[in-house]
């Protein structure tokens, strides 16, 4: 890779890390997210920042300020919707266990149903999912693996989407400010 390409990737990576630093103050990665997914999120943000740099060079005059402001509003609404969807999914799809949150499913396995029936006959009610996990020393085997993995990937996708939308909002507001002050060019 030549020096100019390295410089471009260095700048894009720096911008991605900067955006993630800001976004991470309110959109925390799910506790079950593995490190490669965080790296993938940085990569996606870097690519999106690169695309926004291209757009900012194409639409960089004072005449484009309104377009960037509309973009900010749309992206901000998307960010807010994404954040609430992500937060709701984490509360529906995970429970606290052993100092972290673990992903659970919706459909109980035979093992879980047997335990739930036994618990109900002893206590007069079914255990909630948190109690079910604690009484079985973890979530393994209580929900189908494919269902749990689907929820894990869904929460990860919501996280990445929310981070990307927030990053695009940040970049768009900066570009709108630059365009509003420009006489003949923006960022």
> Is 112 a domain residue?
no
Does residue 116 sit within a domain?
no
Burial 89-111 (b: 16+ CB within 10 A, else e): bbeebbbebeeebbbbbeebbee
Averaged pLDDT, 173-181: 86
pLDDT on residue 185: 45
Residue 113 maps to a domain: no
Residue 135 placed within a domain: no
User: Stretch 89-114: mean pLDDT, rounded?
Assistant: 96
In a domain, 37, yes or no: yes
161 pLDDT higher than 70: yes
Chain position carrying tokens 């005059």 = 61
Q: pLDDT at position 8, please?
A: 67
What is the total count of domains within the chain?
A: 1
Residue 122 placed within a domain: no
Mean pLDDT of 124-144: 96
In sequence order, what DSSP letters do the residues of 13-69 get, joined into one string? HHHHHHHHHHHTTTSPPPTT--HHHHHHHHHHHHHHHHHHHHHHHHS-SGGGHHHHH
Q: Specify if 133 maps to a domain.
A: no
Overall pTM surpassing 0.85 (yes/no): no
pLDDT for residue 81: 97
> Rounded mean pLDDT of 169-176?
86
Q: Is position 120 within any domain?
A: no
Question: How far is residue 140's CA from residue 153's CA, in Å, rounded to a whole number?
Answer: 17
Supply the range of the domain harboring residue 21.
Answer: 3-107+143-181
pLDDT, averaged across the chain = 88
- Return the pLDDT at 151: 97
pLDDT one-digit tens code per residue, 14-47: 776 777 777 766 788 888 888 898 888 888 887 8
């Amino acid at each position: 890779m030549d020096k100019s390409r390295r410089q471009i990737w260095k700048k894009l990576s720096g911008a991605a890390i900067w955006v993630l630093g800001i976004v991470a103050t309110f959109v925390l990665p799910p506790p079950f997210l593995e490190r490669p997914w965080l790296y993938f999120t940085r990569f996606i943000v870097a690519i999106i920042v690169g695309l926004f740099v291209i757009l900012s060079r194409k639409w960089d005059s004072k005449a484009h300020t309104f377009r960037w402001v509309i973009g900010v509003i749309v992206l901000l609404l998307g960010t807010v919707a994404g954040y609430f969807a992500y937060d709701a999914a984490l509360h529906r799809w995970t429970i606290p266990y052993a100092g972290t949150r673990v992903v659970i499913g919706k459909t109980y396995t035979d093992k879980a149903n047997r335990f739930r029936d036994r618990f109900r006959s002893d206590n007069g009610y079914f255990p909630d999912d948190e109690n079910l996990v604690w009484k079985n020393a973890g979530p393994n085997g209580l929900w189908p693996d494919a269902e749990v993995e689907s929820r894990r990937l869904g929460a990860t996708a919501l996280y990445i989407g929310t981070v990307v939308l927030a990053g695009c909002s940040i970049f768009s507001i900066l570009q709108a400010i630059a365009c509003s002050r420009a006489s003949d060019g923006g960022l």
